Amino acid sequence: MRKLAFAGLAAITAAVLTTVGVAAADPPPSSLVQVPSFGANPGALAMYTYTPAGLETGRPVVVALHGCTQSAADYYAHSGWPELADRWRFEVVFPQQSTANNSLKCFNWFSTADDTRGNGEAASIRSMVDKAIADHGSDRARVFVTGLSAGGGMTADLLAAYPDVFAAGGINAGLPAQCATSVTEATNCQQNDQRLTPAQWASKVKAQYPGYGGPWPRVAIWQGTADYTVYPVNGTELRDQWTAVHGVSQTPTSTQSLPGGTTLTNYGGKVQLYSIAGMGHGTAVDPGTGTTQCGSTGAYFLAGICSSYYTGVFFGLDNGSSPTSVPPTTTTTTAAPAGTCVSASNYAHTQAGRAHQSAGQTYANGSNQAMGLWNTFTVHALRETSPGYWVLADGQC
């Protein structure tokens, strides 16, 4: 087994998405099954699968990647994907990281030795897909990938490295593809606006498979506005990256209001951004038996809306098609106009929940734009562009 060297636990914790969770008890073998041999495994990962009883041939495959310190069993137990697999008839592959590869069991989304085509963990996951297809006669045209945190970062990298394998992806509290190539860069990506244009972001994707001329994967992006592990700016950067890859505008074609304070912004049916007001770092779930409900709460599985359900609909798993919107139970509107604009001191903004402070400096909630010293004397205007997402608007109020 490979063992990556790092500069120290503190650096790792800051840089590689510390989604510390409580490990769930391993499900019985009849539910979550380890596949001991699945072909080439240069990333030294473990493969687990959930296969509904009597699964027919020609069905889809979903790859679901856990967050740091978690396991395949955690994602199986809480994410809702197994119950959706039973309902919609598809197989779920749960790759599992080890402490030999990363001391916090994070997928190494920031390492070119692991997150690029034909290499390391990315190549191992590709082997798992091939194994699942061979075992169950699955549909190669309907292979999807999703993940949380470090798993979300690896999801973006896999979509860039293997656009010929994955038809679409769901990124939960993740980062843009190829945002970082080192631990130091990973910390910067998590917390700060990289100030790249959409075209620059897109070039990072297209460089992963030079000469590729086929269709690019569609992307669903999930981001909490109060996430201060992977800051909300990452959701915006992912939106910029994948709209540019698809050649569609960063101006939304529609918005929808969903449960749990969620705003869904659609970009030409190719990219969807789900912004969850007030949610911190984690995968959104909605326990219950309703049509749109699934999952269970746990460490970094946060109640509000079942992201797996809506991601599955975006994938087309509910009816075998590739829809461009969520079911008609939601309310569709045209793109929302700019929201409330407030001018106040940095201190007042933090007290009102429009900003937060760290080490004496103030940052706008959502965009994480720097606002200067945290005091009653420094005054800025902030505009709310979506629920809980504030941007600097000096001179505009």
Gyration radius (Cα) of the chain, Å: 20
**What residues contact 16, with CB distance under 8 A and at least 6 apart?**
68, 102, 104, 106, 108, 109, 110, 150, 183, 186
Cα(171)–Cα(154) distance, integer angstroms: 9
Cα(235)–Cα(171) distance, integer angstroms: 9
> Which residue in this structure is represented by tokens 């087994």?
1
Contact 44/78 with Cβ under 8 angstroms? no
- Return the closest-CA partner of residue 43 out of 106, 130, 128, 101: 101
Q: Which residues pair with 272 in a beta bridge?
A: 220, 266
From the candidates 71, 127, 138, 149, which is the catalytic residue? 149
Q: In what order do the strands lie in the sheet with 389-392?
A: 341-345, 379-386, 389-392
**Residue type at position 85:** A
SS (H, E, C) 161-184: HCCCCCCEEEEECCCCCCCCCCHH
Cα(302)–Cα(397) distance, integer angstroms: 35
Give the DSSP letter of residue 290: S
- The residue count of the chain comes to 397
Whole-angstrom CA distances from 185 to 65, 112, 143, 157, 189 are 22, 12, 30, 15, 6
- Return the closest-CA partner of residue 344 out of 368, 386, 375: 375
Cα(55)–Cα(33) distance, integer angstroms: 15
Could you give the angle at which helices 150-161 and 120-136 cross, rounded to 10 degrees? 80
- The 3-state DSSP class for residue 121 equals helix
Contact 192/231 with Cβ under 8 angstroms? yes
Cα(22)–Cα(78) distance, integer angstroms: 11
Would residue 124 show up in a list of annotated catalytic residues for this protein? Answer: no
- The 3-state DSSP class for residue 40 equals coil
Annotated active-site positions, please?
Answer: 149
